[in-house]
Every structure is written in C-alpha cells, then in structure tokens.
Structure 1
Amino acid sequence: MDLINRALEFEQQKRKSLSTSDRVKMSREAKSLILGLNEIYKQNKDQSIMEIMKRLTVIKQKIEKRLKGRPLTAL
C-alpha cells in the first residue's frame, strides 16, 4: 500500500518549469511506480490500481514528449 500512496503523491507533484534532469528523474520514477503497481495488480486484479497506472502512464508520456522536443520540419 505504500507504493500506492507514493503513486498518488507523484500525481500531485508540480510539473511546470522543470529542468531536463528533473524531467528524466520524474520519468524514471513514474516508470518504476508503474512497474511496481503492475506487480501488485497481477496478484489482486484491482481496477483502482489499473486506473492509477493509466494516469501515471499519461503523465509519463507527457514528460517524455517534452524531453524529446519538437521534430524538425523538412524544408
């Protein structure tokens, strides 16, 4: 249950005006939380855990999109 509380706290963190290293740390933390929750979900099959994992995945994707930057346009 500590992992679920950490995941809920992670969701509440601010994600504005972060440095690149902060984004990398947050992305890695999100990944570890998702994988940990997945192990719990495999045992319990609790839908609330699945919903938390989905929300964390969306956050992680947004962070990674920002890390990769915009693609260059062909001229």
Structure 2
Amino acid sequence: MELVKIATEFEQRKHVYRTTSERILASRQVKDLILGINEIYKESKDQELMDLMKRLTVIKQKIEKRLKGRPLAA
C-alpha cells in the first residue's frame, strides 16, 4: 500500500508546473502511479482504489492539456 500513500501525496501536492520538463515529469509520474494502482485494483476490486485512479486521471488530463497547448486558429 506504499503506492497508494505516494498517490495520495501526489494528489494533495500543489500542481504548479512552470516548465515543460516539469509537466512531462509530472505526467509520467502520475501515469506510473495510475498503472501501479490498476494492478492492485485488478486483484482486490477495491472501490476506493478506483476512485483514486479517477482523481489521478483528471490531474493527468489537465497536465496533458497544458502540454499540448491551444490549437492554432485557422
């Protein structure tokens, strides 16, 4: 359950990524956390783990949206 503790700490951390490299590292870290929790979830089917994965996925989507930037106006 060390992974769950790390994930909750990541979730509660302030999400201010000033540089692109910080955003990339955060995106990779949250992806690894989600995949690790998913492996635990497959065995236990604990609903709290699913909720944690959903919250982390929202954070990951926000980071990736910021990484991709706005599309250029045609």
Please give the range of the TM-score, normalised by the shorter of the 2 chains.
over 0.9
SS in 1 for 2:48: helix
Instruction: Give 1:62's aligned residue.
Output: 62
Give the ranges of 4+ consecutive aligned residues of structure 1 lying more than 4 Å apart after TM superposition: none
Greater Cα offset, 27-36 or 14-23 = 14-23
Aligned to 2:71: 71
Pick which of 17-26 and 29-38 moved more.
Answer: 17-26
- The aligned residue for residue 24 of structure 1 is 24
Shift of 1:15: 1.4
Matched residue, 1:10: 10
Gaps of 5+ in 2: none
The root-mean-square deviation of aligned C-alpha atoms, in Å, is 0.8
SS of structure 2 residue aligned to 1:60:
helix
Aligned AA for 2:43?
Q
What is the letter of the counterpart of residue 32 of structure 1?
Answer: D
Query: What is the CA distance between 1:23 and its match in structure 2?
Result: 0.5
TM-superposed CA distance for 1:17, in Å, is: 4.6
Paired residue secondary structure (1:71) = coil
TM-score (norm. length: structure 2): 0.96
Percent identity of paired positions between Structure 1 and Structure 2: 65
Q: What do residues 28-51 of structure 1 show as CA deviations (whole Å, max 9, x unaligned)?
A: 000000000000000000000000
